Structure 1
Amino acid sequence: MVPSEDRNWAVGAHLGSFAAAYVALGLIAPLIVLLARGGQSPFVRRQAIESLNFQINALVIIAIGWLLAIVLIGFAILAVYGVFYVIVVVMATIKASRGEDFRYPLTIRLIR
């Protein structure tokens, strides 16, 4: 059983990255959660790292999409990835609020 405070921090790692993605880099929220609470809770650490890895991947894919926008295929990549991004972040947030681990699909895990 995961304490509710830990679940709230994990939700913050996922949902905060979603909110920050449109203002700044989505990396900020999971990084703050990892630094603030990651050392105290293994669950929060796992979820913050998972969110951070996904945000790094998202940053790379969006950059590639913008580069490929020159040849028009990038617009399709950005549209499809945008829908994928919203769906998986919402799924991760729901799982974290239940105290369950979530692994983002199609994510290269650079940080462990």
Structure 2
Amino acid sequence: MSVPPESVTPPPPPPSDPVIAVPSAEERQWATFAHLSALAGLVMPFGSIIGPLVIWLIKKDTMPFVDDQGKEALNFNITVALAAVVCGLLCIVLIGFLLLPVLVILWLVFVIVGTIKANEGTLYRYPFALRLVN
């Protein structure tokens, strides 16, 4: 006995990553600010963490793109802050004096790339970042 084709239901689609709709101009602007606000670390202590944190906390519930990119910027800057502490400790054995400038240059480059990608509306992932804030 065979089952008629119209009574067969297709299997449900496999679960996938959450899809974020194409971000609006305002969402792109706030996501750009989330990445760019990390440069506040050049002016004030912990500014590279406080800037993205404030923007993410303000806009996370109303703008999904800013929620994603704000968390990404925050996680990256926390990771860089931890790496800077390690480099500072390694200054005792002199290797930190070489690693710290490299870290600062990488941080600047990746923040600028993240800012540009967010402005384009692209979901950007930093190449190395601890995912501490989910």
TM-score, structure 1 length as denominator?
0.95
Match of 1:84 in 2: 106
Match of 1:21 in 2: 41
* C-alpha distance in structure 1 between counterparts of 2:101 and 2:45, whole Å: 19
Query: How far off is 1:77 after superposition?
Result: 1.0
Of all paired residues, the percent bearing the same amino acid is 38
Match of 1:50 in 2: 72
SS in 2 for 1:27: helix
Match of 2:25 in 1: 4
**4+ long deviations beyond 2 Å:** none
RMSD: 0.8
Query: How far off is 1:35 after superposition?
Result: 1.2
Query: How far off is 1:24 after superposition?
Result: 2.3
TM-score, structure 2 length as denominator?
0.80
* Aligned residue identity for 2:118: A
* Aligned residue identity for 1:78: L
| Structure with more contact order per residue of length (Cα contacts < 8 Å, sep ≥ 6) | 1
* C-alpha distance in structure 1 between counterparts of 2:25 and 2:97, whole Å: 40
Larger radius of gyration: 2
Give unmatched runs, 5+ long, in structure 1: none
* Aligned residue identity for 2:123: D
Query: How far off is 1:4 after superposition?
Result: 0.9
* Aligned residue identity for 2:66: V
SS in 2 for 1:57: helix
* C-alpha distance in structure 1 between counterparts of 2:45 and 2:38, whole Å: 9
* C-alpha distance in structure 1 between counterparts of 2:57 and 2:101, whole Å: 32
SS in 1 for 2:131: coil
Query: How far off is 1:3 after superposition?
Result: 0.8
Q: Which has the higher helix share?
A: 1
Query: How far off is 1:14 after superposition?
Result: 0.5
SS in 2 for 1:97: helix
